[in-house]
Structure 1
Amino acid sequence: MSVVNISCYKFVALSDREALKADLAARCEDLGLKGTILLAPEGINVFLAGPREAIDRIVAHLHADPRLADLVPKVSLSAEPPFHRMRVRLKQEIITMKMPVIRPEAGRAPSVAAATLKQWLDRGCDDEGRPVVMLDTRNDYEVKAGTFDNAVDYQIGIFSEFPPQIAAHRDDYTSKTVVSFCTGGIRCEKAAIHMKAIGVEHVYQLEGGILRYFEEVGGAHYHGDCFVFDEREAVSADLQPARGRVHR
């Protein structure tokens, strides 16, 4: 497999989105990359595919911006590019929740690393002895491809349906540790910030989402594949395209 696929995001204040769009579009075009970059006042979301050298060069270019120096891409391989074209788009939110909860200057949501989460799930509780609840923040059709064992799933059709659902079930998480998770980290971080804002006391996002979990610890406590928003449609726990499976 010769195509390198990366995804990464960061909630960070971006006041120069037009200039950034022009710069990144030109760079990606010159490098022959395919994929999508989303730019919003709240941050950046990146999905790119191409040869290793080109990917390394665009990552170095992103890291040269002090605001993006700590971007850590999640990496997978495929035989063919999972995108047909390159787009850099301006949006109001990099993931639409329709709730004004993200303030990049206020810092990130609490997070738990994949290895630590696996330890929690192995023994059924966190380091303080609280029961651990896995909360899937993805859309219903994504969940069908696969999810963590016994995860809570509100069967939402779009992410903006999450806030009223969590408000209605907030008391379900009293005295428990909630770990919100999603594909790559962006939705579960936004969800965790919102949950903290409405009074859920012990909440973490899964650092790097399902893809980072697969990369670091494999498929332990997870069943099925992980839906991805490109032509691969889903990847298995070894981060290979889940060929021959229909997930929609």
Structure 2
Amino acid sequence: MTSNLPQDDLPYKVMAIYKFADLPDVEAIQPALAQLCAGGEIKGTLILAPEGINGTVAGTPAAIDALAEWLFETGAFGDRLAGAEVKYSAASEMPFLRMKVRLKPEIVTLRAPEANPAKTVGTYVEPADWNGLIERNDVVLVDTRNDYEVGLGTFSRALDPKTQTFTEFKDYVETHLDPARDKKVAMFCTGGIRCEKASSYLLSRGFEEVFHLKGGILKYLEVVPEAESRFAGECFVFDERVAVGHGLVEGDATLCRACRHPLTAADRADPAYHEGVSCPYCEHDEAKHAAAQERQKQMELAEKRGGAHLGDGAAVAAADARARKRAEAEASRARNAAAAAKAAKR
């Protein structure tokens, strides 16, 4: 396989992979895959399902190369993962805390068995050809991502389904799209995986021509010159970068540490924003504020002790759990006090 790993002298190699394939035997394969990753000190998450594989892992270049050889050539999958969408990158530090090989019903959850990208999928469109397609008047352009992702950036003229989870996309199709009217539908998502399933779903519902952006927004931002780009804003990514712009340069967006909603500069200028505690999207959620305050306190204490760098992720997770328990206990006491006060008035 040809690697697109940057030629930086960095100690870790990162592999992101997804492939829709017929894998009814994943439960039997899981132990061997987990053992291989553990033996190579690889960390990250791989999701296995009867419909395919999805995930991101990191390790030494030799360990990742050995994993790739096992996945695509010598291991229990045989040649079933041939043609997988694979992206390699390099990292100066291990980006993950542990290794998880998870079994799930789907690698991307839609809960629509009729959507099977391994059998039927829409037409892939290369990033270089995307502008010409979406500028056509007879093409309906749909962003398949969730509302908080769309809020940071999207393509001009794209419809926003305003979903909070991908499973809600089915309802959007039912109420807003019509195969008799919408003869050509083009879709896009972050890296391409959701669009594969979404395009398969539309085809199963009788839509005639369905297109999707190959490699997703990330590939588009990587290869299309900014002067020619039709993407406005930043693309949300599911790691500590929060969002990226053209050339995959880290963007300006940050995360609210209370509710995890991505925030633009305008959001951070809102009076409801308090760094590390609250934002305009959670300003009335006292439980989240209490959890955020406790988390910040725990991280500061850990930093003073010099022990925070289990990794900030571990510190955040531990602080979140403690804060959540404390907030739940306080909320329970408040409810009990209110109930007692109400009973006393009777």
Identity rate, percent: 42
Q: Matches of 2:171 and 2:254 in 1, distance apart?
A: 32
Q: Does 1:204 pair with 2:211? A: yes
Match of 1:14 in 2: 23
What TM-score results when the alignment is normalised by the length of structure 2? 0.63
Output the amino acid matched with 1:9.
Answer: Y
Give 1:173 deviation, angstroms.
8.2
Q: Measure the CA separation in 1 of the matches of 2:191 and 2:180.
A: 23
Is 1:140–1:157's contact at 8 Å kept on the other side of the alignment? yes
Distance in 1 (CA, whole Å) between partners of 2:87 and 2:234 is: 16
| Counterpart in the other structure of 2:54 | 45
Contact 2:143/2:188, CA 8 A, preserved across alignment: yes
Instruction: Return the match for 2:241 from 198, 217, 232.
Output: 232
| Correspondence for 1:131 | 138
**Residues 111 and 19 (structure 1 numbering): CA distance in 2 closer, same or farther, change over 3 Å?**
same
Aligned runs of 1:39-188 on 2, under 5 Å?
A: 39-64=48-73, 65-103=78-116, 106-121=119-134, 124-125=135-136, 131-171=138-178, 174=181, 177-188=184-195
Q: Is residue 2:254 matched to residue 1:245? A: yes
Q: 3-state SS of the aligned residue for 1:238?
A: helix
Runs of 5+ consecutive residues of structure 2 not aligned to the other structure: 1-7, 256-261, 264-346
Which is helix-richer, 1 or 2? Answer: 2
Shift of 1:77: 4.4
Relative to structure 1, the CA distance from residue 210 to residue 57 in structure 2 (aligned partners, 3 Å threshold; closer, same or farther) is: farther
How far the C-alpha of 1:201 sits from its partner, in A, is 2.0
Greater length-normalized contact order (CA 8 Å, ≥ 6 residues apart)? 1
Cα distance 1:175–1:97, how it changes in 2: closer, same or farther (>3 A)? closer
User: Cα distance, 1:244 vs. partner?
Assistant: 6.0
Q: Report what 2:222 is aligned to.
A: 215
Q: Shift in Å at residue 135 of structure 1?
A: 1.1
- Structure-2 separation of matches of 1:51 and 1:160: 36
Q: Which amino acid aligns with 1:223?
A: A
Instruction: Find the structure with the greater CA-based Rg.
Output: 2
Change in Cα spacing, 1:103 to 1:72, as seen in structure 2 (3 Å) is closer
The runs of at least 4 consecutive aligned structure 1 residues that moved more than 6 Å come to none
**CA, structure 1 residues 118+27, in 2 after alignment: closer, same or farther (shift >3 Å)?**
farther
Pick closer, same or farther for the CA change 1:191–1:171 going to 2, 3 Å. Answer: same
Distance in 1 between residues matched to 2:144 and 2:49, nearest whole Å: 21
Change (3 A) 1:218 1:95: farther
Report if aligned partners of 2:179, 2:206 keep a CA contact under 8 Å in 1: no
Task: Give the secondary structure class of the aligned counterpart of 2:80.
Answer: helix
Q: Displacement, 1:104?
A: 5.4
Q: Is the 8 A contact 1:25 1:88 kept in 2?
A: yes
Q: Give the number of aligned pairs.
A: 242
Deviation at 1:79, TM superposition (A): 4.2
Q: Distance in 2 between matches of 1:240 and 1:85?
A: 27
Would you say the 8 A contact 1:5–1:76 is kept in 2? yes
- Which of 39, 45, 54 aligns to 1:30? It is 39
Partners in 1 of 2:190 and 2:28 — Cα distance? Answer: 29
Give the Å deviation of 1:157.
Answer: 0.5
Cα deviation for residue 190 of structure 1 reads 0.8
CA RMSD in angstroms, aligned pairs only: 2.5
